Amino acid sequence: MEYGKMLGESIEYAKEAVWGKWTRWLLLVISTIIFPLLIGYTMEIYRGKRPAPEPDQWWKMFVDGLKLFVAAIIYAIPVFIVIVATIGYAIVGIFSRLPQGNPDYLAAHPEIVLGMLPEILPGILAGIVLTLIVAFIISLFATIAMVRLARTDRFGEAFNFGEILATIRKIGWGSYILALIVIGIVSFIFAVVIGAFRMIPYIGWLIWLIFMPVLSIFQARYITLLYENAEPAPAEVQAAPQA
């Protein structure tokens, strides 16, 4: 699997999607604010459309975005459970020892928490590690699941674990995991850079908002290419030609 080629093609796809197409870019920025719209737009990319489609089917984008969002929340449930059962349990343990359960007591007596650290810190660290492991395992399934949902347009297919596993096997477990690590690192760097713009007074949030659709398109195209290493896109899946 040529990771560099996939990254290059995804970057070019994202650039062609917005650069010089200012009306489309503006619409995608607005879609970022009404977040189901942007999520629904990535569903069109998951379907293998190329070049990037126009964001014009607003109701369909909104419904698709809600479907994808709900599926992602369901996949995240095990991660939430681990957080509550580990880190949450440790935090509750701290508050349960306060006089009459008064959380304001900590502000006046921070030494109470410091004294508990040797006891609770190992549990918190173990909880963080376990949460990261569970989140990564979930992401292995969720990544393919979201593309399956887009390609089949059936919500249940996001949880067809037999087919999800079959797709991952076709890609190859090692290649698949490495590909996700690559996109994770690149996306993290991109997110840090555009996140740094938010520190600029007054206009930082606007710069961040402008570049968020670019990151979403880039990620969606990369994941689509990864999926197509096992399940090639239908030849007829093309975006409508631009006028």
Tell me, what's the pLDDT at 83?
87
Question: Would 243 be classed as within a structural domain?
Answer: no
Q: In whole angstroms, what is the distance from residue 231 CA to residue 170 CA?
A: 8
Which amino acid does the sequence have at 32?
T
Cα 31 to Cα 55: distance, rounded to the nearest angstrom: 9
Q: What is the mean pLDDT of residues 143-149?
A: 95
130 in any annotated domain? yes
CB 179 within 8 A of CB 3: yes
Does residue 241 form part of some domain? no
Quote the domain boundaries for residue 76: 3-227
Of the pLDDT bands very low, low, confident and very high (cuts 50, 70, 90), residue 196 is: confident
Across 151-176, average pLDDT? 94
The token pair at 6 is 């996939």
For residue 120, pLDDT beyond 60: yes
DSSP 184: H
The C-alpha atoms of residue 147 and residue 222 are separated, in whole angstroms, by: 11
**pLDDT tens by residue, 48-76:** 988 899 998 899 999 999 999 999 999 99
Mean pLDDT of the chain: 85
- Residue 162 in any domain: the answer is yes
pTM of the model: 0.83
Helical packing angle, 3-18 and 22-33, nearest 10°: 100
Give residue 243's pLDDT band: very low, low, confident or very high (50, 70, 90): very low
The three-state secondary structure class of 82 is: helix
Contact 208, 33 (CB under 8 A): no
Q: Is 238 within a domain?
A: no
Domains in the chain, number: 1
Q: 120: how many CB neighbours lie within 10 A of its CB?
A: 16
Q: How confident is the model at residue 119 (pLDDT cuts 50, 70, 90)?
A: low
Contact 38, 243 (CB under 8 A): no
In the chain, the percentage of residues whose pLDDT exceeds 70 is 83
pLDDT at 237 over 60: no
Q: Would 175 be classed as within a structural domain?
A: yes
